[in-house]
């Protein structure tokens, strides 16, 4: 008699504590979130360049650090044809080799086969480089992509891994360029989503100041232009994002020779209410350039 009684008790507990989903409930269950993906490039392999030699008519190479998280890395849809402008070059994210700049700037895949490509797409860097090249025909533009998706500003502090790697790559690029004609001309920063949390926002401003000061000290340029950009406020409410943006917008008040691009009005995204689409990224890139030119232009 005990066995049937025990079985009944077990059945009662099972259906009371963990009842099966009804067909309707199963349909209403939210699907798992999918990571944003971008197809790998399908056109010709990256085209190598020697940055130790300047193209005819150019006097120097201006290097720019591209730092931040996924929106700097970019998730926008890539164009059908890659850019092939010898005035704009990029350092490969993994190999430190130089190639003609093209999307995605933050390519981690093999330069020839693109094997190992992750979800990098169109970010603001290439539009920025094009605008800088258009502004100064005497300068070759060298882009140094360093952004890593999902990273907090704590990883971009002096002594932290991503900060130190950006410094290493900047110093290496100076050595690789023509002697006496190569300089770090500025840094652009697009980050903040990972720090849009109640316990992280209070320390964000000081951390951003430390990043700017650290770059200038390490690279020996006390007036190195540094341009930040606000993050998207596409989600309804976006309370934490708005607080981060308020801090980013006040950077010029705290640190000289800095500026902040205001991208809060840009609402087009890739479908996740977080990552700017290609159109928005190109606008941000041109805005970065406008602010950079303003900081680099001597006051009359």
Dump pLDDT digits (tens) for 249-288: 999 999 999 999 999 999 999 999 999 999 999 999 999 9
- Is the pLDDT assigned to residue 235 strictly greater than 90? no
**Which residue in 279, 275, 266 sits closest to 71, CA to CA?**
275
**Which residue in 182, 192, 189 sits closest to 221, CA to CA?**
182
DSSP-derived 3-state class of residue 266? coil
Both tokens assigned to 52: 């130790």
Query: Which superfamily does 60-296 belong to?
Result: SGNH hydrolase (3.40.50.1110)
Per domain, the residue ranges of the chain are 60-296
17-49 confidence digits (pLDDT tens) = 444 444 333 333 444 445 556 777 877 999 999
Q: pTM for the full model?
A: 0.87
177-231 confidence digits (pLDDT tens) = 999 999 999 999 999 999 999 999 999 999 999 999 999 999 999 999 999 999 9
- DSSP letters spanning 179-247: TTSEEEEEEEEE--GGG-STTTGGGHHHHHHHHHHHHHHHTT-TT--EEEEPPP--SSS-HHHHHHHHH
| Structure confidence at residue 35 (pLDDT) | 57
């Amino acid at each position: 008699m005990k066995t049937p009684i025990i079985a009944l008790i077990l059945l009662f507990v099972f259906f009371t504590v963990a009842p099966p989903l009804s067909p309707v409930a199963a349909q209403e269950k939210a699907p798992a979130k999918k990571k944003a993906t971008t197809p790998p490039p399908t056109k010709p392999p990256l085209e190598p360049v020697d940055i130790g030699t300047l193209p005819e008519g150019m006097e120097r190479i201006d290097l720019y650090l591209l730092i931040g998280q996924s929106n700097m890395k970019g998730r926008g849809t890539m164009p059908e044809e890659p850019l092939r402008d010898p005035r704009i070059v990029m350092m490969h994210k993994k190999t430190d080799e130089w190639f003609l700049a093209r999307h995605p700037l933050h390519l981690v895949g093999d330069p020839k086969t693109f094997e190992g490509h992750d979800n990098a797409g169109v970010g603001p860097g290439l539009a920025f480089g094009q605008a800088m090249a258009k502004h100064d025909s005497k300068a070759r533009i060298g882009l140094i992509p360093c952004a890593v998706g999902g990273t907090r500003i704590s990883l971009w502090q002096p002594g932290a891994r991503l900060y130190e790697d950006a410094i290493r790559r900047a110093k290496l690029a100076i050595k690789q360029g023509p002697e006496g004609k190569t300089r770090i001309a500025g840094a652009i920063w697009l980050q903040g989503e990972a720090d849009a949390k109640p316990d992280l926002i209070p320390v964000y401003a000081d951390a951003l100041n430390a990043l700017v000061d650290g770059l200038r000290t390490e690279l020996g340029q006390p007036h190195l232009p540094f341009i930040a950009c606000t993050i998207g406020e596409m989600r309804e409410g976006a309370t934490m994002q708005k607080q981060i943006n308020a801090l980013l917008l006040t950077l010029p008040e705290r640190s000289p020779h800095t500026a902040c691009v205001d991208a809060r009005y840009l609402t087009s995204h890739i479908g996740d209410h977080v990552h700017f689409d290609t159109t928005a990224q190109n606008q941000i890139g041109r805005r970065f350039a406008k602010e950079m030119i303003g900081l680099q232009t001597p006051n009359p």
